[in-house]
Structure 1
Amino acid sequence: MSLTNYLGCNFTLPISDEEIEDLIIVGNNFSSKYERENVRKHITTKHIYEVATAERIGLSLYKEDKKNSPHNYQKKQQYLKALLEILDSHLEQGDYCELYTCWVGEESEERNKELDQTIQISMFDMDDIEVAEKTLLTIKK
């Protein structure tokens, strides 16, 4: 099983070229069409993409990693920042995206709603964001 991130958008995102080494890869990395359909229970937007890091792994970010593994925490923050920059360039004022994180195969399971977060893309503290499994991060512009 792989940890994956599903990105819901109301606009079309370009699929990443596998030959180019971007920090964030947009495409169907681990999931099947069936799993992407199941994640609809958590995502309200028109389009759903799967995103992964340049290392071809799902993105997770936990506050305790800042102390336990500072190097990896900073690297994961760089990945999240790269994703947010992509979204900022596509989002219209007043629009939003949703990032749902789970293990492939667990898309239809209940999420940890108490851990869901909403951020404004132009104004947030990176240290306050967690990208945990079975949570939804809503990104607004």
Structure 2
Amino acid sequence: MNLASYIGCNVEIPNNDEEYTEDFFFIGSCFAGEYELLNIKKHQFTTPYVYEVSSHWGINISKYTTPQILSESKRKLMELCNIMDCYLKKGDFFELYSCWVGEEAEKRESKIIFQINNFDINQIEIPEKTLVRFEK
């Protein structure tokens, strides 16, 4: 099984599916297919545009994560916020959700809200099946 992370937003953003790289983070397909994208949009997000945040493993920031995955997840989240900050206008938001592939339609466990540029990465916890809304 693979942990996938998805984002939902109100603006269309470019992905680099055709330019697959070994970078630690990119927006495009990795684990999920069209079925998973449809389920995540229907059951978790409130936005019209949905993307997989491909990183060879999802973003999981919790006390149960290994130190290596925790460190990588924090780097990925900061990079994602930097990218999305370029696309969002004041008052807009994007949503983030991570789950095991195939569990996109299952009930979420929690929901939290952060300001896109106003949170301490070392003080937050974002376990799987948590909907996170980042507001600008």
Q: What is the aligned counterpart of 1:131 among 102, 126, 132?
A: 126
Equivalent pairs, count: 133
Local SS of the residue matching 2:11: coil
Question: Does structure 2 conserve the Cα–Cα contact (< 8 Å) formed by 1:52 and 1:59?
Answer: no
The gaps in structure 1 that reach 5 residues or longer are: none
Q: Tell me how far apart the structure 1 counterparts of residues 6 and 72 of structure 2 sit (CA, whole Å).
A: 20
What does 1:31-46 align with in structure 2 at a 5 Å threshold? 31-40=32-41, 41-46=43-48
Normalising by structure 1, we get a TM-score of 0.85
The residue aligned with 2:52 is 50
* Of 2-11 and 71-80, the range deviating more from structure 2: 71-80
* Of 123-132 and 37-46, the range deviating more from structure 2: 123-132
Q: Percent identity?
A: 38
1:9 aligns with 2:4: no
1:119 aligns with 2:114: yes
Question: Does structure 1 conserve the Cα–Cα contact (< 8 Å) formed by 2:29 and 2:54?
Answer: no
Q: Tell me how far apart the structure 2 counterparts of residues 32 and 18 of structure 1 sit (CA, whole Å).
A: 15
Which amino acid in 1 is paired with 2:6?
Answer: Y
Local SS of the residue matching 1:126: coil
Local SS of the residue matching 2:122: helix
Question: Does structure 1 conserve the Cα–Cα contact (< 8 Å) formed by 2:115 and 2:135?
Answer: yes
Q: Tell me how far apart the structure 1 counterparts of residues 32 and 72 of structure 2 sit (CA, whole Å).
A: 24
The gaps in structure 2 that reach 5 residues or longer are: none
Q: RMSD of the TM alignment (CA)?
A: 1.7
